[in-house]
Amino acid sequence: MCSGCSTRITLVRRPRGMAALMPKNTIARWLAVAIVGLCLLVLPFAVDAFLGRAWVRIIDVALLFTMLALGLNIVVGFAGLLDLGYIAFFAVGAYGYALLSSPQLGIHWPLMVVLPLGALVAAMFGILLGAPTLRLRGDYLAIVTLGFGEIIRIFLNNLNRPFNITNGPQGITLIDPLQLDGIALSKTYAVGNIIIAAVHSYYFVFLGCALLAIFVSMRLEDSRIGRAWIAIREDELAASAMGINTRNIKLLAFAMGATFGGLSGGLFAAFQGFISPESFTLLDSIMVLCMVVLGGMGNVGGVVLGAVLLTALPEALRYAGPLQQEWFGGIYIDPSNLRMLLFGLALVTMMLFRPAGLWPSTTRRREFSGEGNAAEEEPNAAR
DSSP string, 293-350: HHHHTT-HHHHHHHHHHHHHHHHHGGGHHHHHHHHHSS--S-HHHHHHHHHHHHHHHH
* Residues 253 and 360 both lie in one domain: no
* Residues 112 and 211 both lie in one domain: yes
Give pLDDT, residue 382: 41
Phi, psi angle pair for 275, to nearest 5°: -140, 155
Average pLDDT over residues 156-161: 90
The rounded distance, in Å, linking the Cα atoms of 246 and 300 is 23
Residue 70 is assigned to a structural domain of this protein? yes
Last residue of a domain, one of 246, 264, 298: 298
Least Cα distance to 262 among 57, 18, 96 occurs for: 96
Residue 21 is assigned to a structural domain of this protein? no
Average pLDDT over residues 110-135: 90
* Residues 356 and 231 both lie in one domain: no
Spatial CB neighbours of 238, under 8 Å, sequence gap ≥ 6: 231
Give the pTM: 0.86
Give pLDDT, residue 292: 92
Give pLDDT, residue 370: 63
* Residues 83 and 154 both lie in one domain: yes
Host domain of residue 365:
313-375
Residue 357 is assigned to a structural domain of this protein? yes
Average pLDDT over residues 164-180: 90
The rounded distance, in Å, linking the Cα atoms of 133 and 140 is 9
Average pLDDT over residues 122-137: 89
Res. 24 pLDDT band, cuts 50 70 90: low
* Terminal C-alpha separation, the chain: 50
Residue 31 is assigned to a structural domain of this protein? no
| Per-residue pLDDT at 322 exceeds 70 | yes
Comparing 110 with 351, the larger pLDDT belongs to: 110
* Residues 82 and 215 both lie in one domain: yes
Share of the chain above pLDDT 90, in %: 50
Residue 136 is assigned to a structural domain of this protein? yes
* Residues 69 and 218 both lie in one domain: yes
* Residues 182 and 329 both lie in one domain: no
* Residues 128 and 259 both lie in one domain: yes
Residue 246 is assigned to a structural domain of this protein? yes
Least Cα distance to 114 among 257, 268, 255 occurs for: 268
* Residues 276 and 357 both lie in one domain: no
* Residues 165 and 234 both lie in one domain: yes
Residue 15 is assigned to a structural domain of this protein? no
Measured from the Cβ of residue 232, the count of other Cβ atoms closer than 10 Å reads 22
Res. 22 pLDDT band, cuts 50 70 90: low
Model pLDDT for residues 326-361, shown as the tens digit of each residue: 787 777 777 777 778 877 888 888 878 888 888 887
Average pLDDT over residues 66-71: 95
The rounded distance, in Å, linking the Cα atoms of 268 and 275 is 9
Last residue of a domain, one of 240, 274, 298: 298
The rounded distance, in Å, linking the Cα atoms of 254 and 43 is 34
The burial of 274, by beta-carbon neighbours within 10 Å (0-12 exposed, 13-18 middle, 19 or more buried), is given as middle
Give pLDDT, residue 152: 93
The total number of structural domains that make up the chain: 2
Last residue of a domain, one of 264, 298, 332: 298
Cis before 162 (ω within 30): yes
The rounded distance, in Å, linking the Cα atoms of 188 and 15 is 51
Average pLDDT of the chain? 85
Give pLDDT, residue 185: 85
Give pLDDT, residue 374: 44
The rounded distance, in Å, linking the Cα atoms of 172 and 273 is 8
Give pLDDT, residue 12: 46
The rounded distance, in Å, linking the Cα atoms of 29 and 263 is 30
Residue 129 is assigned to a structural domain of this protein? yes
Least Cα distance to 102 among 120, 114, 90 occurs for: 114
Phi, psi angle pair for 172, to nearest 5°: -115, 130
* Residues 136 and 163 both lie in one domain: yes
Comparing 22 with 55, the larger pLDDT belongs to: 55
The rounded distance, in Å, linking the Cα atoms of 159 and 67 is 28
Model pLDDT for residues 250-302, shown as the tens digit of each residue: 999 999 999 999 999 999 999 999 999 998 999 899 999 999 988 888 899 99
What residue spans of 159-245 are helical by DSSP H? 198-221, 224-234, 236-241
* Residues 293 and 330 both lie in one domain: no
Find how far residue 188's CA is from the centre of its chain.
28
Phi, psi angle pair for 356, to nearest 5°: -85, 0
